[in-house]
Amino acid sequence: MTATDPNLTETAVTISVNGNDVAVPAGSSILDACTAAGIDTPTICYAENLTPVNACRVCVVEVENSRTLVPSCSRTAEEGMVVQTDSDRVRHSRKMVLEFLGSGVDLSQADEIAPWMETYGADPTRFGDDVETMNESVRIEDDLYVRDYDKCVLCYKCVEACGDDAQHTFAISMSGRGFGARIATEFDVTLPESACVYCGNCVAVCPTNALQFKTEFDLRKADNWREEDQSVTQTVCSYCGVGCNLELHTQDERIVKVTSPNDHSVTSGHLCIKGRFGWQYVHAGADD
């Protein structure tokens, strides 16, 4: 008897990335190959624990003999593929994507995206002041998390995490078309009225803080959210026997938010309401 799934076999494929050969297990994406080659690739809608949806197009690369640029997150690496990640065409496309997103959406708290703006010289302000914006107000409907669609780039990650990539609750989806497209609950009811079960997996995958823990929102509002003073401790949730790993983000000796490591085998970054939000008793009475 073997201790691993006998169906898992690892044959390698080799592709060329920027002129260097990279070997990756069969089934890997071009993005995986770029990562293996030590090349940093911008991504927004991609997450290692979600199925790629090709929404943001910021991870595009040039593949020899391909008419269009291809999204590296979803395209499987094939033997002999020749990939360029830093050509003029790639840089230009990535820059435009970032500028379009940044012009209509508030990316002020999109910490993962900010460095890419600099790398690609993207200037979202160059379209002028009168560009159309999301123009949404913050929705605060409960004590657990808030929705601020002014910051939403419509990357679909929350929809995927709520749906068949993790939670299977399907409480949210895309509603509307064109610039009017928004992430919404059924008939746009409030979250407590919706099918939401508050696992917070949507919040965990949001790249722009459009979905934000209420604790973080309140601290930011009080101008007291200080990531530089925070530390992260990995531990195990206490609420059942699954063994989900928790990352406790603490500031001033208080837990301020809970995430879960995407690369851990037990739940790949996903939690339930108790693991995500049930920690508050740790500080019960602390403010009395």
Partner 1 sequence: MTGLDNGARMYAVDPRRTSSAKFADLWLGLELGSDVALANTVANHIITKDLVNHEFIAHSTEGYEAFKESVSTYTLERGAALTGLPAEVIAEMAEAYATAEKAQILWTLGITEHHNAVDNVLALCNLALLTGHIGRWGSGLVPLRGQNNVQGGGDMGALPNKFPGFQNVTDDAHRAKFEAVYGVELPAEDGIHLTLMFEAMERGDITAAYVIGENPADSEADIQHARKMLSGLDLLVVQDIFMTRTAELADVVLPASVGWAECEGTVTSSERRVQRVRAAVPPPGEAWHDQDIIGELARRMGYDWGHPTSEDLWEELRSLSPLHGGMTYERLEAEGGLQWPCPDVDHPGSPFLHGWLWEDDLGGRGPAPFSTVEHAGPKEELTEQFPIRLTTGRSLDSYNTGVQSGGYDSPIRYGDALDINPADAARLELDDGERVLVSSPRGSVEMPIRFQPDIPVGLTFTTFHFPELVDINKLTNDAWDKRSGTAEFKAASIRIEKLPAETREQAAVVEPIAGA
Q: Which residues bind partner 1 (CB under 8 A)?
A: 1-6, 141-144, 164, 166, 168, 191-192, 196-198, 231, 233-243, 245-246, 248, 250, 253-255, 264-266, 272-274, 277-286
Q: In terms of CB distance, is 122 or 246 closer to partner 1?
A: 246
| Residue 14 C-beta: closest distance to partner 1, Å | 29
Q: In sequence order, what are the residues at sequence separation of 6 or more whose Cβ sits closer than 8 angstroms to the Cβ of residue 254?
A: 283, 286
Q: In terms of CB distance, is 88 or 286 closer to partner 1?
A: 286
| Residues 224, 93: Cα–Cα separation, whole Å | 37
| Residue 157 C-beta: closest distance to partner 1, Å | 17
| Residue 244 C-beta: closest distance to partner 1, Å | 9
Q: In terms of CB distance, is 60 or 205 closer to partner 1?
A: 205
Query: Residue holding tokens 């983000």?
Result: 249
Tokens of residue 139, six digits: 């929705």
| Residue 223 C-beta: closest distance to partner 1, Å | 22
| Residue 129 C-beta: closest distance to partner 1, Å | 39
Q: In terms of CB distance, is 164 or 186 closer to partner 1?
A: 164
Tokens of residue 74, six digits: 């979803």
| Residue 145 C-beta: closest distance to partner 1, Å | 10
Q: In terms of CB distance, is 63 or 271 closer to partner 1?
A: 271
| Residues 135, 106: Cα–Cα separation, whole Å | 10
Q: Quick check: 267 and 245 in contact, CB under 8 A?
A: yes
| Residues 269, 64: Cα–Cα separation, whole Å | 35
Q: Quick check: 155 and 183 in contact, CB under 8 A?
A: no
| Residues 261, 263: Cα–Cα separation, whole Å | 5
Q: In terms of CB distance, is 78 or 252 closer to partner 1?
A: 252
Q: In terms of CB distance, is 91 or 254 closer to partner 1?
A: 254
Phi, psi (degrees; rounded to nearest 5) at 259: -125, 180
| Residue 148 C-beta: closest distance to partner 1, Å | 18
Closest C-alpha to 263, from 238, 234, 239 = 234
Pinpoint the alpha helices (H) of the chain. Answer: 30-36, 88-104, 114-119, 157-162, 201-205, 214-221, 273-277
Q: In terms of CB distance, is 80 or 192 closer to partner 1?
A: 192
Q: In sequence order, what are the residues at sequence separation of 6 or more whose Cβ sits closer than 8 angstroms to the Cβ of residue 86?
A: 18
| Residue 191 C-beta: closest distance to partner 1, Å | 7
Pinpoint the alpha helices (H) of 120-224. Answer: 157-162, 201-205, 214-221
